[in-house]
Each structure stands twice: as structure tokens, then as C-alpha cells.
A and B are shown apart, each in its own frame.
Chain A
Amino acid sequence: AQSVTQLGSHVSVSEGALVLLRCNYSSSVPPYLFWYVQYPNQGLQLLLKYTTGATLVKGINGFEAEFKKSETSFHLTKPSAHMSDAAEYFCARPSTNYGGSQGNLIFGKGTKLSVKP
């Protein structure tokens, strides 16, 4: 089944340190890929989206992600973490079940990011 896998359910970094959140996808055809962020007690908000073209995608709040077909990866990075980045991050892709669901998103399990002062 088509899916996305997020390595690490919890990541902790110090303020100012590099943030790296990992996402790998399984697909014979490179899909569109999304990163969403969920702040405590909030809904999900789109950070960035890869469709086609440039493999380095810049998003909001200083985040970016690089699509690497050879590694089937779409890792999310930010050079310098801020306390306000503490949240849960979800990698997602559209469903490819062409017989049924193709309009919806399939989400990874999420990675909770903690930022230490």
C-alpha cells in the first residue's frame, strides 16, 4: 500500500540548533508530498508542498524540505530552531487508490518536536 513513514515519534533539539524531521514514502511513482504542522490544541496547517519541478521546497516559518527520488525521502529541515516551533509535524501524500479514494491525504504517524531553551 502507498504510505509515508516518519522516523522518530519524538525529536528534541536545543533552541538555535538544526531541525531535521524524516519522512520516507513508498511509491513506484513519485507522489506529491506535504508537510503539515499541528500546534497544541489546533488543527493542521500546511507548511509546504512538493509537486513537480524544483526539489527543494521552501515553506512557512523558515522550514524547507528536499525531495530525493533516489532515497524516496522528503525530509523537513530548519537551520535554527525556535521555541515556537514546538509542535507535531506530519508528512502526507495523496491516496493513489484510483478505484476509490484519490482525493484525500494519507498521513504519517507524526513527529513531535520539542525545543529546549
Chain B
Amino acid sequence: DAGVIQSPRHEVTEMGQEVTLRCKPISGHDYLFWYRQTMMRGLELLIYFNNNVPIDDSGMPEDRFSAKMPNASFSTLKIQPSEPRDSAVYFCASSFGQMWDMNTEAFFGQGTRLTVV
């Protein structure tokens, strides 16, 4: 398996524009996570899915952020409208089982570096 695949790797957009980040999890994994990494706040969980169903979206900053998982092999994180404070690295991760399962680990994609100007 090629691992968790995110696209694009880099995105530069103007304030007010819509941004869509994409993620393909590892085949067979039943959990998918979206994290955001910034210097100030470190790694924060935005939302996670189990079997394509959103379980916890309490980390989503505000209504401008939305995430979907239409099937087991694809998820999107959308920001509309984007703002400069959204600039960060966004990571997608997937796992088979949840983190309290003894043999589970989360596999991370390489991230999307978003810059909103």
C-alpha cells in the first residue's frame, strides 16, 4: 500500500477563496483523522470518522470548515471562505481500529501546507 495520500502538498490561495484538501486513507482502515499543525497550537484534531461516519467534529474551528467522507477510500476537508489564520499544515491519518486497541497505530500522510494570503 502506498500509505495515506494527501493532495495537494502545497496550496496557496487568496483570502475568501474556497479550499479543498483531499485524503485517500490506507485500504482497509476504518478510522480517518484530520489534524491541523501550527507553531502556536501544535497538532490539533479537527475531526475523525469511523466507517465513513463523523464521530467527533468538536475540533473544527468554525462553520467555515467542513469535512466529508463519501466512501471508505476518500475524504475531503473544505474551508470556505478561507482566512489567513487558516494557514497551517493539515494532516490526514488513518488506522485500523481506535487508539485504545493494543495493536493499532495511526498512519499519517505527508500533509498539505496551506497558505492563505
| Chain A residues in the interface with B (C-beta under 8 A) | 32, 34, 36, 41-46, 49, 51-52, 90, 94-95, 100-110
Beyond A94-B100, A100-B56, A102-B99, list 8 extra A-B contacts (CB 8 Å): A32-B99, A32-B102, A42-B111, A43-B108, A44-B91, A49-B105, A104-B33, A104-B56
Considering only CB atoms and an 8 Å cut-off, how many residues of chain B contact the other chain?
Answer: 25
Partner of B105, one of A34, A101, A107: A34
If over half of A's interface residues share one DSSP class (helix, strand or loop), that class is named, otherwise mixed; here it is: loop
Whether B100 contacts A110 by the Cβ 8 Å rule is: no
With a cutoff of 8 Å between Cβ atoms, the chain B residues found around residue A94 in the complex are: 98-100
Whether B58 contacts A52 by the Cβ 8 Å rule is: no
Whether A101 contacts B100 by the Cβ 8 Å rule is: no
Whether A101 contacts B110 by the Cβ 8 Å rule is: no
| Chain B residues in the interface with A (C-beta under 8 A) | 4, 31, 33, 42-43, 45, 48, 50, 55-56, 58, 91, 93, 95, 98-100, 102, 105-111
